[in-house]
Structure 1
Amino acid sequence: MTSSGDAAARRTPLYETHAGLGATLVDFAGWLMPLRYSGGERAEHTAVRERAGLFDLSHMGEIHVTGPQAGEALDHALVGHLSAVATGRARYTMITAEDGGVLDDLIVYRLADDDYLVVANAANADTVAAALTERAAGFDAAVHDASADYALIAVQGPAAADILAPLTDADLGAIRYYAGYRHTVAGRPALLARTGYTGEDGFEIFLRPGAAAPEVWDALLAAGEPHGLVPAGLSARDTLRLEAGMPLYGNELSADITPFEAGQGRVVKFDKPGDFVGRAALERAAATGRSRRLIGLAGRGRRPLRAGNEVLRDGTPVGTVTSGAPSPTLGRPIAMAYVDADLDTATGAFAVDVRGRAEDVDVVDLPFYTRDR
């Protein structure tokens, strides 16, 4: 094991497991997390695309909103229509400030009529919990940050269902995409959800208490060995989500960006009953149009495109790369970037300034990769 983490960083219940597997551990959002394992991130990425990978996501935030008006409280707090979500289903949504800027993107699971689980990004979990508490005031609903109680494991890839099937009492074929139900995994009670952040089929396993995580992880690794399952770290997760065109908070999403600018305006539900935080600003944003938009870029050469690089059109700066990396699946550098909303991307020569050298790129549709369904 190698580590570049802060001594004060928190450890997930799987920390010793990662150390034993030779992971490179880094400080990520205040947590010591595996960046990669001994096989390297490219091998991990390829395994997820072709077979399966196993991820520790225990740094994510888990916040319960419960009570007779839990759905109405979330309708007010978030941009989505959460009270309309059926029990057992999940919804991708966002929490915004009054000015419409994104505070975080979330997945919300409806566990029962009066019980919702809000899953927040690790760096924003405290912010989301505090905002939900404030915004739920006046509703018959309670907000409880249960992040410290949970561990979260994901198995992602074409072989994910085959690996998980012998370890669970669930009929995996009956669990649709963006659905989650209470089952057992490796004999442990879990919320088993068909969700993920890789662009592949897969499952996320929420364990409470989190102390069960090492046992479940080991059972999954053993069951997955004949299928080529490998542990995978943050680096592979990032290139997988980039290929799938999925936004990352702090890169494509921030408090300075609205859902419409990020190409996620579909998650804003103006037709739901009642008011919600940020509604007026988002209505103005929807009416006036975007000032910038997110595009995909694919390099013609080999030099990686990185966040912060300038995007050039006919030599003139027109935007900024938000995420970029070599794509193991496509075999070329790829990036997402913000450009002016009215920029004509169908004409002109596009390039990215990489350390003072213009690297020719093609403007391409997002996502870069879509799995066969």
Structure 2
Amino acid sequence: MLNTVATKTTSQMPLTVRERRSAFWASSDAHNPNGYMVYNHTLIPSTFGEAEQQYYHLKSAVQLWDVGCERQIELVGPDAAKLVQMSTPRDISQMTHDRCFYIPTVDGKGHMTNDPVLLRLDEDRFWVSISNSDLMLYYKGIAAALNLKVEVFEPAVSPLAIQGPKADELAARVWGGKIRDLRFFRHMRVDVNGTQMILARSGFSTQGGFELYFEGNKDGDVVWNQLMEAGRDLDVRASAPHQSERIESGMLSFLADITFDMTPFEAGLGSLCETERDIGCLGWAALREKREPDRQLRPIEIAGDGLPPQGEFWSVIADGRPVGRISSSCRAYSFDCNAAIGLIDRSHWSPGTALEILTSDGLREATVKEKFWGRF
């Protein structure tokens, strides 16, 4: 997570109209979060309760997350698909109208600008659900420079995540059993109190669940309360994406694990890049020259007891010299170890390689792992 504000009451925070709130802000905030963050210019609760307890609850029950900070960029018009394709090396030509694609977006030099989820709503209509960086001006600039026939704007959409192994049961109680058949990274329309809205099988955890793309700024509390009431016996709780669960599962955080100086290949997203043929991505030629990276993200296990809080990159050392950086770290409670995500030089990224990590409380021994702990 980024930009967490450690306070128990929003009255302690310097708020202005620039810190936007989602349609679920009031409902989520009423559950007494103990931390907040600003993400995509949007204020959301970021932590609830004791970290380890919330971690195990996510893995055993069901949680509601206000993720209205996942802002949407809508592209609609005859050139909408062309404009999306110009921004990403992932081929979207065969994307059907019920699909969600995780896409790396890049600039003309092949460096990453975001790692959003792309939803195709119609032949000429897309939502780009962005991570924590501004991307809309990039689309607007290209569209204006090339005089493309496309509108680019931010719709009033606030995603609400329903995550955990009991998410299917909760969603089925509210929207019917048909949602159980919804495949991963597919979406469908469901009736939300008389309005058809998009429900996608997706979310920033590996515990399973959905994201409801709630449209409008009113009555978010109505659907929140409906879900809370329907899931009372399922132990549904308000919460937020969990740092430990996402790190042990290898879920990347933009501006932390992925930075603007990295390519998709360095981020381990090379399988999402079409480099054999020119599909219209502005960074295509540059990416072809960068297919063999000299550094790449790797799972790193750090020895010892729990780690200190991490507020900066930690240096990775081997043979007395820097060979990378740690961008995210945590205690992986289910695996009784310290898990981390590191950008490691090719010379030292093989599984089993011994490393040292210069943490904020001193050197720790570490090892490159073959895969992330939460991946099966």
How far apart are residue 314 of structure 1 and its match?
Answer: 4.7
Distance 1:347 1:78, change over 3 A: closer
Deviates more, 1:274-283 or 1:355-364: 355-364
User: Does 2:129 correspond to 1:119?
Assistant: yes
* Counterpart for residue 293 of structure 1: 296
User: Does 2:139 correspond to 1:132?
Assistant: yes
User: Does 2:52 correspond to 1:45?
Assistant: no
2:44 to 33, 36, 42: 33
How far apart are residue 347 of structure 1 and its match?
Answer: 6.1
Name the aligned partner's letter for residue 48 of structure 1.
Answer: L
How far apart are residue 271 of structure 1 and its match?
Answer: 4.6
1:77 and 1:135 in contact (8 A); partners too? no
Name the aligned partner's letter for residue 148 of structure 2.
Answer: F
Distance 1:11 1:327 in 2: 31
Deviates more, 1:340-349 or 1:297-306: 340-349
How far apart are residue 191 of structure 1 and its match?
Answer: 0.6
Distance 1:101 1:182 in 2: 35
Name the aligned partner's letter for residue 76 of structure 2.
Answer: T
Structure 1 gap ranges (5+):
none
* Counterpart for residue 7 of structure 1: 15
Distance 1:344 1:78 in 2: 27
2:315 and 2:326 in contact (8 A); partners too? yes
How far apart are residue 18 of structure 1 and its match?
Answer: 2.8
The size of the alignment, in residue pairs, is: 361
User: Does 2:126 correspond to 1:105?
Assistant: no
Q: Could you state the TM-score of these two structures normalised by the residue count of structure 2?
A: 0.89
Cα deviation, 1:302-337, whole Å, max 9, x if unaligned, reads 131635122222554321101111112222211011
1:79 to 83, 89, 99: 89
How far apart are residue 193 of structure 1 and its match?
Answer: 0.2
* Counterpart for residue 151 of structure 2: 142
How far apart are residue 91 of structure 1 and its match?
Answer: 0.7
Name the aligned partner's letter for residue 13 of structure 1.
Answer: A
Cα deviation, 1:175-214, whole Å, max 9, x if unaligned, reads 1100112212455532100011111211000011132321
Distance 1:240 1:253, change over 3 A: same
Distance 2:9 2:111 in 1: 37
2:353 and 2:368 in contact (8 A); partners too? no
1:253 to 244, 253, 258: 258
How far apart are residue 36 of structure 1 and its match?
Answer: 1.9
Distance 1:17 1:51 in 2: 20
2:170 to 163, 175, 186: 163
* Counterpart for residue 202 of structure 1: 209
2:64 and 2:236 in contact (8 A); partners too? yes
Deviates more, 1:55-64 or 1:294-303: 294-303
Distance 1:5 1:259, change over 3 A: farther
Structure 2 gap ranges (5+):
1-7
3-state SS of the aligned residue for 2:289?
Answer: helix
Cα deviation, 1:282-320, whole Å, max 9, x if unaligned, reads 11101xx21211111122311316351222225543211
3-state SS of the aligned residue for 2:245?
Answer: helix
* Counterpart for residue 344 of structure 2: 339
Distance 1:219 1:343, change over 3 A: same
* Identity rate, percent: 21
* Counterpart for residue 181 of structure 1: 188
